[in-house]
Structure 1
Amino acid sequence: MSPKVLERTRGNSSGTGRWDRWGQALSLLCMVHCLVLPLVLGALPAVMSHALEETPIHLGMVVLAAVLGGVSFAPGFRRHRDGRVLALGALGLGLLILAQFLEHESTAETTVTALGATVLVIAHGLNRRRCQDGCAEAVANAR
């Protein structure tokens, strides 16, 4: 099989890669939100800071992370059977949930949220790579 066909097959092997890319992008967005927003809020009036730091925004991000994790990690695990990916995804999501119980706008909340988002970025990347590697192995074994 030609390298082009193999690469196309790897990229289109399943929909999990697309969900992992979304998960990585949104996890990165979450990380940027946690790290940059405190700097931006220092320059904004107090009224704006309150509007941008509402709990529903954070809860919505956690729910979105859980949904994207479900639609990418579960099918990915069925494909590659690497429990480490599920463990990393669960750890990242657990950290995001834990951050919801910490003092709002505290250093601890920001740190735990950024750590959770980082772990999710790594988990989604590993999931995507494992799915692609599994597809490449299946194609190679079929030859």
Structure 2
Amino acid sequence: MTFATRLLTSRPVWDRAGLTASTLCVAHCVATPFVAAVLPIIAAMEGATHAVLALAVLSFSLLAFVPGFRKHRRSPVLGLGSAGVALIWLPVVLPESMSSESLETIATVSGGIAMVVAHLVNLYFCRTCRVCAESAC
């Protein structure tokens, strides 16, 4: 098996990447109002930054949760991950007229926390699984 194949099929790598992206998403959402008050140019770039982080969260989630579900059949992880992705994407897809800063913050922080928990639980299932212990997860 080549390095690239191993990397693409290694769920723990994607769970760790998803943890990082989700944590960055939460940190970005919490810090942006404070930083934007000091540096107004940050406020102008906030929408694009959120979209990029949301895309990273979605990508890493698919790479971690779909193979994890196929192997472990733990639907709560898939459900929590899906809810987290939906909450993170809500401010990106919601029209500006229907959104507010507080709604965006609540949705993104809640979604980020849900994603962090889902990735941690997914990693736990991989570590405690007999099938994963016998072969690379």
TM-score (norm 2): 0.80
Give the aligned partner of residue 70 of structure 2. 78
Displaced runs of 4+ in structure 1, greater than 2 A? 49-52, 102-105, 135-139
> Structure 1 stretch 117-126 or stretch 99-108: which is displaced more?
99-108
Q: Describe the SS at the equivalent of 1:75.
A: helix
Of the two, which has the highest radius of gyration?
1
Instruction: Report % sequence identity.
Output: 33
Question: For residue 113 of structure 1, what is the aligned residue in structure 2?
Answer: 108
Match of 2:6 in 1: none
- Name the CA distance, whole Å, in 2 between partners of 1:71 and 1:86: 12
Alpha-carbon contact 1:22-1:68 (below 8 Å) kept: yes
Q: CA deviation at 1:137?
A: 8.0
Letter in 1 for 2:76: R
In the other structure, the counterpart of 1:49 is: 42
- Counterpart contact for 1:102–1:108, Cα < 8 Å: no
1:39 partner amino acid: F
Match of 1:122 in 2: 117
Conserved in 1, the CA contact under 8 Å of 2:83 and 2:111?
yes
TM-score (norm 1): 0.77
Cα RMSD between the aligned structures?
2.0
> What count of residue pairs does the alignment treat as equivalent?
123
The answer to whether the Cα contact below 8 Å between 1:27 and 1:118 also exists between their aligned partners in 2 is yes
Q: Is the 1:102–1:109 Cα contact (8 Å) retained in structure 2?
A: no
Runs of at least 5 residues in structure 2 that lack an aligned partner in the other structure: 1-8
AA matched with 2:73 = R
Correspondence for 1:27 among 13, 22, 37: 22
2:11 to 8, 11, 16: 16
Higher relative contact order, chain-length normalized (CA < 8 Å, sep 6+): 1
